[in-house]
């Protein structure tokens, strides 16, 4: 049987094709003028920034988008085979330049006018136009509307145009001027809203201004990068590396990646040739420092992507060691930037040790989901989940909704079992989790991206940061324990202004998530099923305070405050951190968290070392619209 690919978006059930657009009260009935002047603005307490024309946004709010008529994003080609990454890794070799040039050719470099004037480069900017922004801290540099308002350097500007980034996303408008001014930054912005470029552009631009650290063909045995970008997973580090290389194309800025599970020799060899920006996972970096092959003493810029995860309890000691005890210049002598879509107060407090006189930037309701993602919660008991997902996926296939579907399970075993079950039932699925060797992980991701196996069953190893075009449906087969993990998981769809669908199976096991889930859904203007409201009411009596969810209940079952990751410096009233400190991670289920649900896949814990030697593989992240041919099975 053959299936016509319709390119339709959305997902199974097809219920919510168009989300209502939320217009904040102060803008209702107002003519649609320059949305920036009308709707943007800093909160009253970011009094430092008060330029004329920036109205108060009052109660905040976003246009929740849901527009269906998106221009195609026109990205590069579909992923290809293994050895390409190795080609890229040598920026001095002709194949590196050729490969990237080819990539840009396929992107069809924009004409100057289009690049300067808007058009959005395929991104649906309207979805972000009316988004609340807060910046707190001293002397906040004002935002920009266009990339060319900042002197980023001609080489970088050319690459920005080549990437078809015709105008900055909201987080970029605010974060780039702050970072280019050399300020420390803690930035929270919704999933898929362009945070990678927000930290890469300032780093590349400053390196270009201050002079390159490394010429091609250098012979250093101890690499001394001037910028370090840390991320929690190998796949995310690879992705950042690929993105950063596109931004630095032909500028001479050399970017190298180091992550566990792949050959350290090859990575050391790449470092020997010189490095300006090192993108790394913490475990592999610490290993290289211990071997005396990397020195952090020249670091001028430190960026932590998914910073809250990086400082969460599994990683914090390792990050602290890297940042504070391995020769890196202290805060004030280096610039530090922390980015995430979620930023709990206690993590902000930990992070503040790494920063000096920093600006806290929040774009959108921090920790909340974007309204571009249509969320459906279904009551499905554990024993019924398999039959339910079969119905959902078959319905999706029958409807011609054959984009990519990402399914999250709680455990690695669960991911394998579900992959097997779906495959045996004739559905094209593949699994990714931390027990797989790196080559298998990369193969699974590549096959998913290319649409060969358009169903990826994953643990949380795939929940953060991964930018995979055409993921139109995220299914939480098992809900996570933590609402922030839910936010990141569903954020694998609805990216860069596109809409997406997220379906979750809620069972009795998930009672503790009911309340934060209801709050999150309300924040994002989603329809909450009545039964879930009931669960939330009941669960708040049972689960009041303590544990991971204390911030939603004020530590003692008090006021609800979802999305409340404002600058913790504003909230702190001495001892007011209900549930903070010591054992307050009770709700985190630490025993199994890193053990059995995929976080074994991180580079940090010692468990990793067993995965050494894999190597090979590699994938290409710029992809064109994927025709998920695997559905033809």
Interface positions with ligand ATP (CB under 6 A): 121, 123, 165, 168-169, 172, 189, 191-197, 341, 465, 467, 491, 495-496
DSSP state of 312: S
CB of 124 to ligand ATP, least distance (A): 10
Query: Which two tokens mark 311?
Result: 């400082």
CB of 597 to ligand ATP, least distance (A): 19
Nearer to ligand ATP, 197 or 513 (CB): 197
Backbone angles phi, psi at 625, to 5 degrees: -55, 125
Pairwise CA distance, residues 146 & 127, whole Å: 17
Gyration radius of the chain over CA positions = 23
As a whole number of angstroms, the longest Cα–Cα distance in the chain is 66
CB of 221 to ligand ATP, least distance (A): 34
With both helix axes pointing from N to C terminus, report the angle between 514-523 and 530-542 in degrees, rounded to the nearest 10.
130
Pairwise CA distance, residues 37 & 33, whole Å: 8
Nearer to ligand ATP, 194 or 547 (CB): 194
Pairwise CA distance, residues 619 & 74, whole Å: 18
Nearer to ligand ATP, 449 or 495 (CB): 495
- In 558-577, which positions are buried (b, 16+ CB within 10 angstroms) versus exposed (e)? eebebbbbbbbeeeeeeeeb
CB of 55 to ligand ATP, least distance (A): 24
Q: Among candidates 139, 136, 137, 163, which has minimal Cα distance to 152? A: 163
CB of 114 to ligand ATP, least distance (A): 12
CB of 7 to ligand ATP, least distance (A): 18
Nearer to ligand ATP, 307 or 603 (CB): 307
Nearer to ligand ATP, 143 or 579 (CB): 143
Q: Among candidates 196, 151, 150, 142, which has minimal Cα distance to 169? A: 196
What are the residues whose beta carbons fall under 8 Å from the beta carbon of 265, sequence distance 6 or more?
Answer: none
Pairwise CA distance, residues 403 & 288, whole Å: 40
CB of 469 to ligand ATP, least distance (A): 7
Nearer to ligand ATP, 397 or 446 (CB): 446
The sign of the torsion formed by the CA atoms of 512, 518, 524, 530 equals positive
Nearer to ligand ATP, 85 or 488 (CB): 488
Nearer to ligand ATP, 200 or 455 (CB): 200
Instruction: Centre a 10 Å sphere on the Cβ of residue 525 and count the other Cβ atoms it contains.
Output: 16
Query: Which two tokens mark 475?
Result: 């299914």
Nearer to ligand ATP, 194 or 480 (CB): 194
DSSP-assigned beta bridge partners for residue 473: 405, 501
What are the residues whose beta carbons fall under 8 Å from the beta carbon of 398, sequence distance 6 or more?
Answer: none
Nearer to ligand ATP, 140 or 487 (CB): 487
Pairwise CA distance, residues 334 & 225, whole Å: 13
Pairwise CA distance, residues 485 & 66, whole Å: 23
- For 548-605, the DSSP string reads TTHHHHTTTT----TT----HHHH--SS--TT-STTGGGGG-HHHHHHHSSGGGSSSS
| 461 and 432 Cβ atoms separated by less than 8 Å | yes
CB of 319 to ligand ATP, least distance (A): 18
Residue recorded with tokens 């839910």: 486
CA 525 → CA 116, 493, 521, 528, distances in Å? 34, 17, 6, 9
Nearest 10 degrees: CA dihedral of 347, 350, 351, 355?
150
CB of 191 to ligand ATP, least distance (A): 4
CB of 305 to ligand ATP, least distance (A): 7
Nearer to ligand ATP, 441 or 464 (CB): 464
CB of 134 to ligand ATP, least distance (A): 17
Nearer to ligand ATP, 168 or 557 (CB): 168
Nearer to ligand ATP, 169 or 539 (CB): 169
Nearer to ligand ATP, 289 or 496 (CB): 496
CB of 386 to ligand ATP, least distance (A): 29
Instruction: Centre a 10 Å sphere on the Cβ of residue 416 and count the other Cβ atoms it contains.
Output: 17
CB of 193 to ligand ATP, least distance (A): 4
The sign of the torsion formed by the CA atoms of 578, 583, 589, 590 equals positive
CB of 375 to ligand ATP, least distance (A): 16
What are the residues whose beta carbons fall under 8 Å from the beta carbon of 595, sequence distance 6 or more?
Answer: none
Residue 544: Cβ-neighbour burial (10 angstroms; 0-12, 13-18, 19+): middle
Nearer to ligand ATP, 188 or 264 (CB): 188
Nearer to ligand ATP, 123 or 392 (CB): 123
CB of 113 to ligand ATP, least distance (A): 16
Backbone angles phi, psi at 361, to 5 degrees: -120, 125
Pairwise CA distance, residues 238 & 541, whole Å: 44
């Amino acid at each position: 049987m053959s299936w016509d690919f319709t390119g339709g978006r959305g997902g199974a059930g097809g219920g919510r094709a168009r989300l209502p657009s939320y217009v904040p009260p102060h803008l209702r009935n107002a003519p649609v003028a320059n949305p920036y002047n009308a709707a943007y603005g800093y909160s009253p307490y970011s009094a430092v920034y008060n330029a004329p024309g920036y109205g108060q946004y009052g109660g905040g709010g976003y246009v929740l988008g849901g527009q269906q008529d998106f221009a195609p994003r026109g990205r590069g080609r579909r992923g290809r085979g293994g050895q390409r990454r190795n080609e890229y890794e040598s920026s001095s070799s002709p194949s590196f330049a050729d490969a990237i040039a080819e990539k840009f050719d396929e992107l069809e470099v924009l004409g100057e006018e289009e690049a300067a004037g808007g058009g959005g480069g395929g991104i649906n900017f309207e979805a972000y136009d009316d988004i609340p922004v807060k910046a707190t801290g001293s002397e906040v540099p004002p935002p920009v509307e266009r990339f060319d308002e900042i002197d980023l350097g001609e080489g970088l500007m050319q690459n920005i145009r080549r990437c078809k980034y015709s105008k900055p996303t909201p987080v970029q408008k605010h974060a780039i001027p702050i970072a280019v001014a050399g300020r420390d930054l803690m930035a929270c912005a919704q999933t898929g809203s362009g945070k990678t470029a927000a930290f890469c552009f300032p780093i590349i631009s400053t390196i270009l201004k201050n002079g390159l650290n490394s010429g091609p063909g250098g012979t250093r045995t101890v690499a001394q990068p001037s910028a370090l970008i840390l991320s929690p997973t190998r796949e995310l580090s690879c992705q950042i590396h690929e993105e950063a290389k596109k931004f630095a194309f032909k500028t001479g800025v050399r970017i190298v990646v180091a992550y566990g599970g792949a050959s350290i020799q090859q990575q050391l060899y790449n470092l020997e040739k010189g490095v300006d920006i090192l993108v790394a996972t913490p475990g592999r970096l610490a290993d290289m420092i211990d071997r005396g092959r990397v020195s952090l003493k020249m670091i001028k810029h430190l960026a932590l992507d998914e910073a809250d995860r990086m400082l969460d309890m599994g990683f914090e000691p390792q990050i602290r060691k890297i940042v504070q005890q391995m020769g890196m210049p202290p805060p004030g002598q280096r610039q530090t930037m922390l980015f995430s879509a979620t930023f709990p107060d206690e993590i902000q407090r930990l992070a503040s040790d790494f920063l000096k006189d920093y600006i806290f930037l929040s774009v959108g309701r921090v920790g909340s989901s974007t309204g571009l993602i249509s969320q459906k919660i279904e009551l499905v008991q554990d024993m019924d989940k398999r039959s339910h997902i079969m119905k959902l996926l078959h319905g999706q296939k029958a409807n011609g909704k054959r984009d990519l579907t990402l399914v999250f399970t709680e455990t690695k075993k669960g991911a394998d079992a579900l992959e097997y079950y779906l495959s045996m039932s004739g559905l094209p699925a593949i699994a990714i989790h931390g027990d797989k060797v790196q080559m298998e992980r990369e193969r699974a991701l590549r096959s998913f991206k290319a649409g060969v196996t358009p169903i990826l069953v994953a643990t949380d190893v795939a929940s953060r940061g991964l930018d995979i075009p055409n993921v139109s449906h995220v299914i939480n087969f098992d809900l996570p324990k933590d609402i922030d993990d839910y936010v990141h998981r569903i954020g694998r769809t609805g990216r860069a202004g596109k809409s997406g669908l997220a379906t979750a199976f809620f069972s009795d096991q998930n009672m503790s998530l009911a309340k934060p889930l209801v709050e999150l859904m309300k924040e994002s203007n989603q329809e909450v099923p009545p039964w879930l409201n009931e669960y939330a009411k009941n669960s708040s009596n049972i689960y009041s305070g303590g544990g991971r969810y204390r911030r939603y209940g004020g530590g003692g079952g008090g006021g609800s405050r979802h999305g409340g990751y404002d600058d913790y410096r504003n909230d702190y009233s001495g001892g007011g951190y209900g549930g903070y400190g010591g054992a307050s991670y009770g709700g985190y289920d630490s025993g199994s968290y890193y053990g059995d649900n995929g976080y074994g896949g991180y580079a940090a814990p010692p468990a990793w070392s067993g995965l050494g030697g894999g190597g090979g593989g590699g994938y290409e992240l710029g992809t064109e619209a994927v025709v998920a041919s695997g559905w033809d099975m």
